[in-house]
Amino acid sequence: MKTKYLFGFVFLVAITVSLGAYSAVLGKSELVHFWVAVPAGNVTSPMVLRGAGPPISMSPIVIDLQSRGVLKNLLQPQLEGISTHWIYNLGKKPVMIRLNLANVPSDIAVDWEVNSGFEYDEATRTFKTPLNPGRSIPNLGIDWIFHIPAYYMDEPVIYDGGLEVIDAATNTVLTFIPIKFVNGGASTSGGTGGGCH
């Protein structure tokens, strides 16, 4: 009889540890990753941008929260994340890059996790080193984690905004990538962008 309880206890501890590991580590792997290049203008449909540096594929990003994995929906139903490791300057002049997430409702908190080989000012969300033509920001890793309140989870469209990549010197939007979180395949124009890694 004691063996049965011991086995049950060990099983529950194993499940708890496994789910905790998923939540802390593997959940990050469900971030949607995408490429960014400037100047691209308004990215309204899939495109390949060519210029100084490698060709960069970009498209609007649409994430259907109902298409996520079972564990993600069980353990982190109100978290969604996007990520980039690539911001390229395909233009002809150096640019100091500032980032902004447009149209985020005030009740959706977004964590910005930024690591970079360039000095980064968190207050203004600006990279302090100009990005030269044909180059990318070195050692870049940016994760945006959206904390979605429960009352949004039944809405057909949860977030409809985008990433603005701005020339910090002129305040000009160089690239705008639309980002939309939908619930159950709400229709949009354009394709889905990014991919899970």
Q: Is the model's pLDDT at 192 over the cut of 60?
A: no
Say if residue 39 is in the same domain as residue 131.
Answer: yes
Average pLDDT, stretch 13-25? 52
Q: Is the model's pLDDT at 152 over the cut of 50?
A: yes
What is the span of the domain harbouring residue 17? 1-29
Domain containing residue 82: CATH number: 2.60.40.2310
Report residue 191 as tokens.
């394709």
- pLDDT, residue 154, reads 87
- pLDDT, residue 187, reads 46
- pLDDT, residue 185, reads 65
CA–CA dist 12, 18 (Å, integer)? 10
Say if residue 83 is in the same domain as residue 156.
Answer: yes
* pLDDT tens digits for range 40-79: 999 999 999 988 878 999 999 999 988 877 777 777 878 9
* pLDDT tens digits for range 109-128: 999 999 999 999 999 999 99
* pLDDT tens digits for range 164-184: 999 999 999 999 999 999 987
**Is residue 189 very low, low, confident or very high in pLDDT (cuts 50, 70, 90)?**
very low
- List the Cα angle 48/44/120 in 5-degree steps: 75
- pLDDT, residue 54, reads 87
Say if residue 180 is in the same domain as residue 103.
Answer: yes
Say if residue 10 is in the same domain as residue 82.
Answer: no
Say if residue 83 is in the same domain as residue 44.
Answer: yes
Q: Using the Cα atoms of residue 131, residue 133, residue 139 and residue 141 in order, give the sign of their dihedral.
A: positive
CA–CA dist 181, 5 (Å, integer)? 44
Say if residue 76 is in the same domain as residue 120.
Answer: yes
CA–CA dist 85, 11 (Å, integer)? 39
Q: Is the model's pLDDT at 20 over the cut of 60?
A: no
Say if residue 76 is in the same domain as residue 133.
Answer: yes
Say if residue 12 is in the same domain as residue 73.
Answer: no
CA–CA dist 88, 131 (Å, integer)? 8
User: How many domains is the chain built from?
Assistant: 2
Say if residue 93 is in the same domain as residue 169.
Answer: yes
